[in-house]
Amino acid sequence: MRYEGAVFRPPSEADSLIIQLTIGCARNDCTFCYMYKDKTFRIRNLDDVIEDLELAKNFYPKGRVKKIFLADGDALVVRNKDLLYVMNRARRLFPELERISAYAAPKDILMKTPEELVALKNAGLGIIYVGLESGDDKILRDVKKGVTAAEMIEAGKKARKAGIELSMMIISGLGGRPRLVEHAINSAKVISEIKPEYLGFLTLRFFKNTELYRDYVEGRFLALRAPEIMEEMLLFLGNVDSEGTIFRANHASNYLLLRGILNTDRERLIRMVESAKTTNNYRRYVETGF
Ligand code: SF4
């Protein structure tokens, strides 16, 4: 297969065929994000995208491609007509395809009409991955996410109403020490409103080509240590109400592995966090990246 630059996908898309519909991220502003800093955003020529699908069709054994992930950072920025064209061709080339997925920016979801989202769902868009990062407006502003908590809620509900599953991600420690409480409680509020099918937690890491890394090394950003991350998680779990959400904090960056279903497992998860905090028993964490 042919790819431009580094390609990222969620862990749950490990066995998916990755097709780049766009290159980079249309926003590329978030102060903590390193993923597409070396790419200039563009939507790929659709003929090239279809050619990639055909190459994959010839490369993989019949029946092997069951899932397709549309990279790079925010495939839903593409107009619906073109998205549907690509998705319909993908389904014809791979009749065994069970779902198509993509990262999605909240503003792109909001730009689409409810009918357009339903059309995408009917064409196979089964799940989208949305970085909530934080439900706190000040933090969202500080990290230049370009979206408010209210817009996150509206976008999340709109996607779910169209029948598209939603996987959201929060970054532990993103508000630093000054916004620990607000980050936890306001993120819990946003999740409680949306009630996504999946919720994952990463822990903030500092990557060298980012603005946040510079803030961190120059002392402008006060990072949380493990006990404070636990305090933040306890506040989040104590305030969230999202019945049925599959909850995971099992990324390499997490100090403590947590998995369960909200709200059923909430008390068990709280006990696990309290126990780690009391015994000071954490996984190794690497605070700066490449
Ligand atoms: S976090 Fe998402 S929206 Fe922000 S720069 Fe990275 S890919 Fe783009």
- The CB of 30 under 6 Å from ligand 1? The reply is yes
- The CB of 260 under 6 Å from ligand 1? The reply is no
Could you tell me the residue ranges of all domains in the chain?
A: 11-279
- The CB of 36 under 6 Å from ligand 1? The reply is yes
What is the residue type of 204? Answer: L
- The CB of 171 under 6 Å from ligand 1? The reply is no
pLDDT < 50 stretches in the chain: none
Q: What is the pLDDT of residue 174?
A: 98
Give the closest residue (by CA) to ligand 1 atom 7: 73
Q: What is the pLDDT of residue 284?
A: 76
Q: What is the pLDDT of residue 289?
A: 59
- The CB of 159 under 6 Å from ligand 1? The reply is no
Q: What is the pLDDT of residue 285?
A: 66
Q: Which atom of ligand 1 is nearest to the CA of 33?
A: 6
Give the closest residue (by CA) to ligand 1 atom 4: 30
- In whole angstroms, give the CA distance from residue 195 to residue 218: 38
CATH architecture of the domain formed by 11-279: Alpha-Beta Barrel (3.20)
- In whole angstroms, give the CA distance from residue 109 to residue 71: 16
Does the reported pTM lie above 0.75?
A: yes
